[in-house]
Each structure stands twice: as C-alpha cells, then as structure tokens.
Structure 1
C-alpha cells in the first residue's frame, strides 16, 4: 500500500516538474536541488521549489491550473487587454462576482435548455463589453464551449480586448460579405473560447440585426457551442440591445457602481422585458 502511494506521488511530482521545465521556470539543475530538498524534508515538489526561491506562488498556481485544466493568463502574457480580469486575476474577489453570475445563468437559463444570452446596459460606460468578455472567460474556464459575439456594431470593443486580427466580423456575415468561418477566432491561450468580433462598422446596425440571418446564426451556433454571450450597445445608443435580447430571449442587466442611475436601470429592465426577453440576472461593475 505504501509503495503504491509513493509511486503515485512520484508521478505527480514528475508531472509538475516537467511542466515547470517546459515553461522555462526551472532548469534540470534546479530540479535536482528540489528533489534533494523534497527527499530531506518530505515536502511537496512545488513547496520545495518555492522554499528554495526557484519559483513563485504565481508560477505554482499556473502549473497547477494546467494540471487541472483551468486556463488563465500569467502576468507576463501581454497578448490581451488587462480588462480580462477573469483570465489575468482569476482568484480575485472581483472575479468571484462573475462566477456568481455564471452560477445564476447556469441554473436559471442554460440548464433549462437555452444557449444564448445578451448582456445589456443603459448607458455607454456601464461596462457591458467588460462584463461580456469576462463572463465568456469564466464559462470557458468551466469547460463550456463558449462563443462571445460582439453585437455592438456601433462602438465595438471585443477586437481590442482580445487583440483580434480578422478584418471581418458579425456585420460582414450579416451583410453576406464573408462566411462565418473566416470571422471566428479561437483564443489560443483560453481553450473553449471563440470570439466573433463586430467586423466592419456598418451604417445600418439595426437593419442588419433585424435580418433573419442573425437569428439563423444564433440557431446554428447553438448546435456547436454550449454558451453564447452577446455583447450589445447601450440602450441610449438605440434599440439594438432590445432586438438582440429578443433574439437570444434572455438578458443580463449591467450597471456601474456610482455611475448608473436607478431610474435608468429600471427603464432598461422595462425595455428589455417589453421586447419579450427574460431578465435573468444583474451585474454591478465596480471597476
């Protein structure tokens, strides 16, 4: 029995060590020192490495996240906007709030058979794009195959947040300027997450949303993805958010602490419900 336990522990140690070596955090010489200390003190490989000052707690959390299939971004990764707190600071209290909303959506919406939800706000600056991006990340971290659609074709932000390179996006698909496969971008550092940018800023965003092919796009995407998050423009910019919510059939209201007024939020709820969509939950940004 003891031999089996030691053998299993050795497998875990070799896995952690190999990952740290592959990441360039350790050298073979470092590994020998760690194994020697581990044998002398009876500590775990990661703890021994930290005690020797060879890795940091952040390094250990990163390698453990790979072992447990929990993707997030190390601080030195500069490929994306720091607005992605769910990816860069996954253990912060702010991200716990996003996980709380994720739980609401799972139990009250996605587990009921729905696949898509719109994220809506009353005014520009409420943080709808910020909330949409981070909700998409936390769903992907749960292992859900997630699609984030930038439906804000007036003032899009997702291409900046995720550093998208494609010239095409949602508007181009709806205008039949490109096939959907050319506009989708799989985020390499965040498995399970795909982003569809807004694309070329069109002169007629409401008319594009009103076309039948947007509803068809959502239906088709629902056959591929577990979760579809739709970023929308502020209600003050037009009725795009209402139209998108009507198509996804569900919405999450976003407001910003010390910025959004209660009357605007109440009016937003009424407008969304009048479109025939269900208000599933609410999120207050404090950034």
Structure 2
C-alpha cells in the first residue's frame, strides 16, 4: 500500500493531487529555455511538508514519462526511505565514500514506473562538509546520467547550512511553506540566506492551503 502522504497515488482525483500535476506543468514550461534537471526542495523550518511535496511531485513527473530519481540529502533526519518503505543501509553517503559507487548508484526502484529513490544511507558526523564537497559534484553528475529529473530533499534552511551549500549546485531551488504555520519573517530570512549563496530560487510551494468549494465539487463528480 502507498504511504498516506502520497496523495498522487492514494487518491489521484483530488484537488491536492491535481495541484501536484499543475506544479509539474509549471516546472515543465519554466524549463523550456533553461532545463531544470536538478531541483532542491527545502523549507525555512521543520514541519512545513517539503519531503511530502517532493515525493508527490516525483510521482507526477514519473507518470509523465520522465526518469526521476529522489535523493534524500537530509543527512540529519532523512525521511524518504520511510515514505517509500525502503531499506536505508546504502544510499547517498555510500556514493560519497565508495569509489565504485558512482558507476552503479545505490538507487532503489519503487512501485511507480520511472521512479527510483536514493536514500540517505548511513548518517555522517559532518553533513554540511559532505554536501559541500567536490565529491558531491561528482555524485550529482553521475545521477544526471541516469535520470531526466533528480530531486533533492534538503534540510530546513534556517536550521542548518546544508541546504544553502547544496543549493549552489542545483538548477533550481523550491522553498516550501505551510499555510497557517509558516512565519513571514522565517520565509524572508530563508530567502535571504539562499540569495546570499546565489541559489537559483525559482519559486515557492504552499502546503495546507484551502481550496474553494466549487473546485472541490468539480473533482468529486
């Protein structure tokens, strides 16, 4: 059974699932002039839904025929292996420390065609140094050889420096906010921190937003 967070699989006819398909469309048109192969998802603080947004967008990209890899680059509190019910003994950190792993990425297939996951792997003592290393550049290049889209789940921007360090290596960065709980000053500070490292911030995603009743009645037919 798909995880309850994967609304694009458990209830694909809902407005929430359609919103993810709309996000896929927006990204597709955004990248007509500048291809977006590597996207990083972060949030100002924990609990704003970045991992869920990434997982559901990945489903829609894969369903659209795109080879898609989810990379759990949150090397402090990884969650993608839990969302997808996968083993986490090998993953991103495996590729970072094993020389031969670049040629054979430790990705795991999912039940969704075209979609695979590179879990975090064993957690290192120095996540920021690892993610900012030259070796990480090599890992990103290797993953791009195997996919049309590589989506990176990064830690919250204001909590640690990991997302800022990794964002400079991306084609685009998406900041996830949660309606009713995200604070305006947190969002502003997160943007400032990303701007400081010249991160390619392409937009935001708002989770937990209410939709109009007429929209809901349309999708319930």
| Superposition TM-score tier, normalisation by shorter sequence | 0.7 to 0.9
Partner of 2:27: 105
- SS, match of residue 39 in structure 2: strand
Q: C-alpha distance in 1, partners of 2:61/2:90?
A: 25
- SS, match of residue 140 in structure 2: helix
- SS, match of residue 253 in structure 1: strand
In the TM superposition, residue 219 of structure 1 has moved relative to its aligned partner by 1.5
- SS, match of residue 158 in structure 2: helix
In the TM superposition, residue 81 of structure 1 has moved relative to its aligned partner by 1.7
Partner of 1:184: 107
Q: How many residues matched?
A: 208
- The CA RMSD over aligned residues, in Å, is 1.7
Larger mean CA deviation between 92-101 and 109-118 belongs to: 109-118
- SS, match of residue 247 in structure 1: coil
Normalization by structure 2: what TM-score? Answer: 0.88
In the TM superposition, residue 130 of structure 1 has moved relative to its aligned partner by 0.8
In the TM superposition, residue 217 of structure 1 has moved relative to its aligned partner by 1.4
Partner of 2:123: 201
Partner of 1:149: 71
Q: Which has the larger radius of gyration?
A: 1
Partner of 1:14: none
Q: C-alpha distance in 2, partners of 1:271/1:203?
A: 23
Greater share of helix residues, 1 or 2?
1
Specify every segment of 5 or more residues in structure 2 that has no aligned partner in the other structure, as ranges.
210-221
Equivalent residues in 2 for 1:18-167, closer than 5 Å = 78=1, 80-109=2-31, 112-167=34-89
Q: C-alpha distance in 2, partners of 1:242/1:251?
A: 10
Change (3 A) 1:140 1:247: same
- SS, match of residue 225 in structure 1: coil
User: Residue 109 of structure 1 contacts residue 280 of structure 1 at CA under 8 Å; is this kept in 2?
Assistant: no
In the TM superposition, residue 271 of structure 1 has moved relative to its aligned partner by 1.5
Q: 1:85-104, CA deviations, whole angstroms, 9 ceiling, x for partnerless residues?
A: 11111111011221222122
User: Residue 88 of structure 2 contacts residue 122 of structure 2 at CA under 8 Å; is this kept in 1?
Assistant: no
Q: 1:61-94, CA deviations, whole angstroms, 9 ceiling, x for partnerless residues?
A: xxxxxxxxxxxxxxxxx2x421111111111101
Superposition misfits of 4+ residues, deviation over 6 angstroms:
none
Q: C-alpha distance in 2, partners of 1:175/1:218?
A: 14
- SS, match of residue 237 in structure 1: coil
Q: 1:127-181, CA deviations, whole angstroms, 9 ceiling, x for partnerless residues?
A: 1111111111111011110011001010000000001124111122212287253
- SS, match of residue 125 in structure 2: coil
In the TM superposition, residue 200 of structure 1 has moved relative to its aligned partner by 0.7
Normalization by structure 1: what TM-score? Answer: 0.69
Change (3 A) 1:110 1:207: farther
Q: Is residue 248 of structure 1 aligned with residue 151 of structure 2?
A: no
Partner of 2:148: 226
Q: Is residue 271 of structure 1 aligned with residue 193 of structure 2?
A: yes
Specify every segment of 5 or more residues in structure 1 that has no aligned partner in the other structure, as ranges.
1-77
In the TM superposition, residue 114 of structure 1 has moved relative to its aligned partner by 3.0
Q: C-alpha distance in 2, partners of 1:145/1:204?
A: 31
